[in-house]
Amino acid sequence: MMSVLLEVKDLKVHFPIRGGILGRTVGHVKAVDGISFYIEKGQTIGLVGESGSGKSTTGKAIMGLAPITSGQILFEGEDITRQVRKNRSPYRKTVQMIFQDAYSSLNPRKRVNDIIAEPLRNFENLTPAEERKRVDELLAIVGMPAANAAKYPFEFSGGQRQRIGIARAIALKPKLIIADEPVSALDISIQAQVLNYMKDIQEELGLAYLFISHDLGVVKHMCEYLTIMHNSRFVETGTRKDIYESPKHIYTRRLISAIPDVDPLKREENFAKRNALVEEYDKNKTKYYSEEGKVYDLRNIESTHYVAIPEGYVSEQKLGGEQI
């Protein structure tokens, strides 16, 4: 695999729980508990999970915003696990992040011009004229007139703020962008604008995205490959087709069946399906989780499709039952 951009090996992020008057560590919250994956150049990987599944912590750990307990992060084949938390390392330049709440990630007292130019000033020595030109270019890429550079973040709508966030993220020509719920706070029409821009920019700049979201509709639209996260671990990984058309793990199947269908004629059917799955979930839970409730390791069941099941489970019993 020549073109692997980022590889994560057995990543763990455990946060200590302190208790007692001495503040000793009494336990750990295992936010991320042993996950491995890789992203190829120009690819979009979706990371889906419900709140508390550890998906945001994964993104933060890759950005160096959360401490890595163990595991390795390789960028273009080089182990950079120790570099990610260092300021001004070259890695910081090539991996950028966009956040859910664009407004709180933009400094309210700075003009758009300064916000977008900040990464340029940190990493590149540009003359004021060059910098100005670059900022205008970046604004044009996200579809904003250059006149906006003199405005403050509060003067913009939610979608425009998110686009400013994107312009800042692509200022240093990164190779990978970690997008943590980039459209969750936006109205549907604005969400469409931002998603379209993200796709355009990806083509133009050859970007890879790690697209973190709880919204299975958005992820299906954006990502060719995706992985489902639950209880700090991966339960299922595969192509869009693998996951949406033949989900195998009971958790994935429940998640997919919970997506509201836009066809009102199917709702009774969906309702019955959901109920059947909840029953099956209660009955068969022990088969999909270990005694401590831990998700098993991923196992390959088809060329691109991996499911977290115990050893030998596939041969014993047909997985997945009826189709969703």
Closest approach of other proteins to the CB of residue 239, in Å: 12
Closest CA to 135 of 123, 119, 159: 119
Tell me, what DSSP letter sits at residue 190? H
Total chain residues near other proteins (CB under 8 A): 42
Q: 68-127: which residues touch other proteins (CB under 8 A)?
A: none
In angstroms, the CA 135 to CA 112 distance is: 9
274 counts as binding other proteins under rule CB under 8 A: yes
Closest CA to 110 of 161, 181, 180: 161
Closest approach of other proteins to the CB of residue 267, in Å: 5
Which CB sits closer to other proteins, 80 or 218?
218
Which CB sits closer to other proteins, 95 or 194?
194
Which CB sits closer to other proteins, 45 or 84?
45
Which CB sits closer to other proteins, 28 or 220?
220
User: E strands within the chain?
Assistant: 4-19, 24-40, 44-49, 70-75, 78-79, 95-98, 176-180, 208-213, 225-230, 233-239, 298-300, 306-308
In angstroms, the CA 92 to CA 96 distance is: 7
50 counts as binding other proteins under rule CB under 8 A: yes
Paired with 97 in beta bridges are: 178
Closest approach of other proteins to the CB of residue 24, in Å: 25
Closest approach of other proteins to the CB of residue 226, in Å: 12
262 counts as binding other proteins under rule CB under 8 A: yes
Among 13, 115, 171, 216, binds other proteins (CB under 8 A): 216
Q: 283-322: which residues touch other proteins (CB under 8 A)?
A: none
Phi, psi of 291 (to 5 degrees): -60, -30
Among 116, 164, 222, 229, binds other proteins (CB under 8 A): 222
Closest approach of other proteins to the CB of residue 45, in Å: 14
- For 181, other C-beta atoms within 10 Å of its C-beta total 19
Closest CA to 319 of 242, 259, 233, 212: 242
Q: 144-183: which residues touch other proteins (CB under 8 A)?
A: 144-145, 157, 159
244 counts as binding other proteins under rule CB under 8 A: yes
265 counts as binding other proteins under rule CB under 8 A: yes
Tell the burial category of 157 from Cβ atoms under 10 Å away from its Cβ (0-12, 13-18, 19+).
Answer: exposed
Closest approach of other proteins to the CB of residue 105, in Å: 20
In angstroms, the CA 88 to CA 83 distance is: 10
Among 74, 141, 190, 205, binds other proteins (CB under 8 A): 190
In angstroms, the CA 26 to CA 103 distance is: 37
Closest approach of other proteins to the CB of residue 312, in Å: 29
220 counts as binding other proteins under rule CB under 8 A: yes
Are 249 and 236 in contact by the 8 Å Cβ rule? The answer is yes
For binding to other proteins (CB under 8 A), which residues are involved? 50-51, 143-145, 157, 159, 187-193, 195-196, 199, 214-218, 220-222, 244, 254-255, 257-265, 267, 270-271, 274-275
